[in-house]
Amino acid sequence: MADLKAPSPLVTAQGLTKDFRGHRVLSGVCLQLFPHRVTGFLGANGAGKTTAIRMMLGLLPGSGETLFMGRSLAQWRAPAEVVGAVLGGVAGHPEHSVRMHLRMVAAGIGVPGTREDEVLSRVGMQEAAGLRLGRLSLGMGQRVAIAQALLGDPRVLILDEPTNGLDPHSVRWLRVFLRDFADDGRAVLVSSHQLAEMEQLADEVVVLARGRVVADTSMAELSGIAHGRVGVQSPALDKLTQLVEQQGGTLKVTGPGTAGITGLSRFQVGDLAAEHSVPLHWLDERLTSLEEFYLSVADQEFESR
């Protein structure tokens, strides 16, 4: 039954597909971003996260579609009010002060006068307004990049690997900041290949492996699977669900063809599947990390192509 209270997504990306020189790097990627939610975009280096994010923002051509509150970004009169993006550190003239830089970006996107001080205070950088861009530490540069993304007061924030190179203090700050931003009814997409960090940052998670979504679930569910459930991949999950439930277990679908099972051991699940001719493409239990989980699924995906 449909959940009547489920909020509508602020962002819907569908069928994102991209080839680079005849090589497919994204295959039909779909994801949704919801208000009040921090969604993690998790995948190893080269999985396709940056490509997908750039396509969503209209910075890279390809097939598929991304709608922000029902419209493509190009249809919005003021896209900076819809989405802010952090795609690496702050890019500007190294001799410009932080304030000057933000003022110039604000003028470029049609944001009036004094908003730079407001966004600097949002990221705790009021004191740094007079510093030159070229003298900022990595962590400060990241905060200024976030301040820049906030200039248009966007409903959605998209950050590509924002924790790269950050010290633990800055990562903690980012967690609190993203939580506050989402609590205000906004949506966040944050990509990372660092699994432990993602577990702290995100409520929902979309796992990308070799250009495909291999899991789309809550972080709690994924952590549960990774840390002590039986994970399965099968083209016959409906039949497997019935069998598992008959045996007193529970099966939760976590992504295309993947699921987590509780209440049965992997031996029981394997035997049950064999007895009823349910094909299993992957079966594992008590994985120690999310990385093992998604690499196992990715390898299975890759081999079955």
Ligand X SMILES: Nc1ncnc2c1ncn2[C@@H]1O[C@H](COP(=O)(O)OP(=O)(O)OP(=O)(O)O)[C@@H](O)[C@H]1O
Binding positions for ligand X, rule: CB under 6 A: 20, 25, 43, 45-51, 161, 193
What is the rounded distance in angstroms from the CA atom of residue 71 to the CA atom of residue 60? Answer: 18
In the bound state with ligand X, the residue whose beta carbon lies nearer, of 48 and 152, is 48
In the bound state with ligand X, the residue whose beta carbon lies nearer, of 45 and 114, is 45
In the bound state with ligand X, the residue whose beta carbon lies nearer, of 57 and 69, is 57
Nearest distance from C-beta of residue 23 to ligand X, angstroms: 7
Q: Answer yes or no: are the C-beta atoms of 300 and 281 closer than 8 Å.
A: yes
Nearest distance from C-beta of residue 164 to ligand X, angstroms: 8
- Taking every pair of Cα atoms in the chain, the longest distance, rounded to a whole number of angstroms, is 71
What is the rounded distance in angstroms from the CA atom of residue 259 to the CA atom of residue 215? Answer: 9
Q: Answer yes or no: are the C-beta atoms of 89 and 145 closer than 8 Å.
A: yes
In the bound state with ligand X, the residue whose beta carbon lies nearer, of 190 and 278, is 190
In the bound state with ligand X, the residue whose beta carbon lies nearer, of 41 and 68, is 41
How far is the CA of 65 from the CAs of 74, 127, 191, in angstroms?
A: 12, 41, 19
In the bound state with ligand X, the residue whose beta carbon lies nearer, of 106 and 208, is 208
In the bound state with ligand X, the residue whose beta carbon lies nearer, of 193 and 229, is 193
Nearest distance from C-beta of residue 194 to ligand X, angstroms: 10
CA nearest neighbour of 214 among 253, 159, 162: 253
Nearest distance from C-beta of residue 109 to ligand X, angstroms: 25
Q: Answer yes or no: are the C-beta atoms of 104 and 137 closer than 8 Å.
A: no
CA nearest neighbour of 151 among 189, 127, 120, 190: 120
> Do strands 204-209 and 212-218 pair parallel, antiparallel, or not at all (unpaired)?
antiparallel
Nearest distance from C-beta of residue 25 to ligand X, angstroms: 4
Q: What are phi and psi of 13, to 5 degrees?
A: -110, 135
Non-local CB neighbours of 237 within 8 Å, separated by 6+ positions? 251, 253, 257, 259
3-state percent breakdown (helix, strand, coil) of the chain, nearest 5: 40, 30, 35
Nearest distance from C-beta of residue 271 to ligand X, angstroms: 37
In the bound state with ligand X, the residue whose beta carbon lies nearer, of 77 and 305, is 305
Nearest distance from C-beta of residue 290 to ligand X, angstroms: 15
Tokens linked to 130:
């007079």
Nearest distance from C-beta of residue 20 to ligand X, angstroms: 3
- Residues for the chain: how many in total? 305
